[in-house]
């Protein structure tokens, strides 16, 4: 595998760097609510107007039709530009990274035409209604039911942990349409309008005091049958492609940003007093060792990301190998922010920046989500064991 960039890719990098220098917002991202939604959508519109939305989306859907490597280069330049926000937290994440890509692979022409351009133009927020109180790791055990009535589905049940449901317009929703079929067979993947009568959303506050999770309740919510993506009762196959994108390519920006975070942390360690109360933190052998390991591990993560991109380019959709990257990335993300707290020490108790110092506590608290969301590390290990290594099922 050749890891050198082509001349075209290097020119693309230079173009991205210049554009980002001129267009990156200086403002902090509002942490919650309508203001956050408007900030994220405004940034998506800025990207679209500048020709930087959907870099790796096909041109027929409004993207630039470039490679995943170019998409990754753009993320690297974004991270290096020292932005005041991260891409992974954006409420445009689902639409861009797995809702839209799922429609491209499984949607019909009308669904693609109705939704894909709106995602890219920053007109709409998507959320994901997969998990339920009794169905997380065992997603196929979901019980939110949908009954066909004429040319509509009537949905009743509950979802939970739905990120950004309270600011979303559209949901990728999994429902049980055949209760008598084996559990993987009676599921459908539907596009749900979040303004539909019968939907109630209750916000959940997390330990970092941010509300971006919700419970969503459905009381006889009517959804046109034309919103079923793929065939009715064939939603498990569609959901697997959604999870393939979510575990395979969706976190590319975050993987790349982690490398920039480690560099920032090395700078912090140069300027902060270390455990002996005299010398800089980086002079402490143990901290230096952990920083060096983190730098090596983000380099390994980059190589894994590029290998994943190269595999996806051959097959068209991310395979189960994405779970290896997701697993390594999730655990590494936590190690990096744990190290950050050890370097920052008691100052980590500050939740707002002082004298230009970085803020590490919020991201540290959020790092716990990295081994849960999109499938826990245990589930990713099961997938790697069974579907990548071909080990027998327990």
Ligand X SMILES: Cc1cc2nc3c(=O)[nH]c(=O)nc-3n(C[C@H](O)[C@H](O)[C@H](O)COP(=O)(O)OP(=O)(O)OC[C@H]3O[C@@H](n4cnc5c(N)ncnc54)[C@H](O)[C@@H]3O)c2cc1C
Binding site for ligand X (CB under 6 A): 127-131, 136-137, 161-163, 369, 372-373, 375-376, 378-379, 382
> 86 vs 376, which CB is nearer to ligand X?
376
> 70 vs 163, which CB is nearer to ligand X?
163
> 232 vs 369, which CB is nearer to ligand X?
369
Q: Which of 328, 325, 298, 295 is nearest to 311 (CA)?
A: 325
Distance of alpha carbon 177 from alpha carbon 200, whole angstroms: 21
SS (H, E, C) the chain: CCCCCCHHHHHHHHHHHHHHHHHCCCCCCCCCHHHHHHHHHHHHHHHHHHCCCCCCCCHHHCCCCCCHHHHHHHHHHHHHCCCCCCCCCCCCHHHHHHHHHHHHHHCCHHHHHHHHHHHHCCCCCEEEECCECCECCCHHHCCCEEEEECCEEEEEEEECCCCCHHHCCEEEEEEECCCCCCCCCCEEEEEEECCCCCEEEEEECCCCCCCCEEEEEEEEEEEEHHHEECCCCEHHHHHHHHHHHHHHCCCHHHHHHHHHHHHHHHHHHHHCECCCCCCEHHHCHHHHHHHHHHHHHHHHHHHHHHHHHHHHHHHCCCCCCHHHHHHHHHHHHHHHHHHHHHHHHHHHHCCCCCCCCCCCHHHHHHHHHHHCCCCCHHHHHHHHHHHHCCCCCC
**Catalytic pick among 246, 257, 268, 321:** 246
246 is catalytic: yes
CB of 131 to ligand X, least distance (A): 3
> 104 vs 165, which CB is nearer to ligand X?
165
CB of 381 to ligand X, least distance (A): 7
Q: Which of 78, 66, 65, 88 is nearest to 16 (CA)?
A: 78
CB of 192 to ligand X, least distance (A): 12
CB of 83 to ligand X, least distance (A): 21
CB atoms under 10 Å from CB of 241, counted, come to 21
Distances from the Cα of 292 to the Cα of 265, 311, 328, angstroms? 11, 29, 17
> 280 vs 373, which CB is nearer to ligand X?
373
Token output for 337? 């922010």
> 68 vs 172, which CB is nearer to ligand X?
172
Distance of alpha carbon 259 from alpha carbon 108, whole angstroms: 38
> 74 vs 130, which CB is nearer to ligand X?
130
Distance of alpha carbon 260 from alpha carbon 254, whole angstroms: 10
Residue in the shown chain whose Cβ atom is closest to ligand X: 136
> 52 vs 251, which CB is nearer to ligand X?
251
- Would you name the residues annotated as active-site residues? 246
């Amino acid at each position: 595998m050749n890891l050198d960039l082509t001349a075209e890719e290097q020119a693309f990098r230079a173009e991205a760097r210049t554009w980002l220098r001129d267009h990156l917002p200086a403002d902090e991202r509002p942490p919650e609510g309508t203001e956050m939604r408007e900030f994220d959508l405004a940034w998506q519109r800025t990207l679209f107007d500048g020709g930087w939305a959907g870099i790796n989306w096909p041109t027929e859907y409004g993207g630039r039709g470039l490679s995943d490597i170019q998409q990754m280069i753009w993320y690297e330049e974004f991270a290096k530009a020292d932005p005041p926000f991260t891409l992974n937290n954006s409420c445009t994440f689902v639409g861009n990274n797995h809702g839209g890509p799922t429609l491209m692979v499984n949607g019909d022409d009308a669904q693609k035409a109705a939704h894909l351009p709106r995602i890219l133009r920053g007109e709409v927020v998507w959320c994901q209604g997969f998990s339920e109180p009794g169905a997380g790791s065992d997603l196929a055990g979901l019980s939110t039911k949908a009954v066909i009535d004429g040319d509509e589905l009537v949905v009743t049940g509950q979802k939970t942990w739905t990120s950004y449901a309270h600011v979303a317009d559209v949901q990728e929703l999994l429902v049980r349409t055949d209760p008598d079929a084996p559990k993987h067979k009676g599921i459908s993947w539907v596009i749900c309008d979040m303004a539909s009568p019968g939907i109630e959303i209750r916000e959940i506050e997390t330990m970092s005091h941010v509300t971006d999770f919700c419970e969503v309740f459905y009381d006889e919510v009517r959804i046109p049958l034309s919103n079923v993506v793929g065939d009715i009762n064939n939603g498990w196959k569609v959901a697997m492609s959604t999870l393939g994108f979510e575990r395979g390519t969706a976190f590319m920006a975050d993987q790349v940003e982690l490398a920039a975070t480690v560099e920032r942390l090395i700078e912090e360690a140069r300027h902060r007093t270390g455990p002996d109360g005299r010398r800089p933190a980086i002079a402490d052998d143990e901290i230096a060792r952990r920083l060096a390991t983190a730098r090596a591990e983000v380099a390994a993560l980059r190589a894994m990301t590029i290998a994943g991109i190269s595999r996806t380019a051959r097959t068209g959709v991310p395979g189960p190998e994405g779970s290896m990257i997701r697993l390594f990335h999730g655990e590494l993300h936590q190690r990096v922010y744990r190290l950050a707290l050890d370097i920052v020490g008691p100052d980590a108790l500050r939740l707002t920046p002082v004298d230009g110092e970085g803020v590490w506590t919020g991201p540290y608290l959020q790092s716990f989500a990295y081994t849960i969301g999109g499938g826990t590390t245990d589930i990713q290990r099961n997938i790697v064991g069974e579907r990548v290594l071909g080990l027998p099922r327990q």
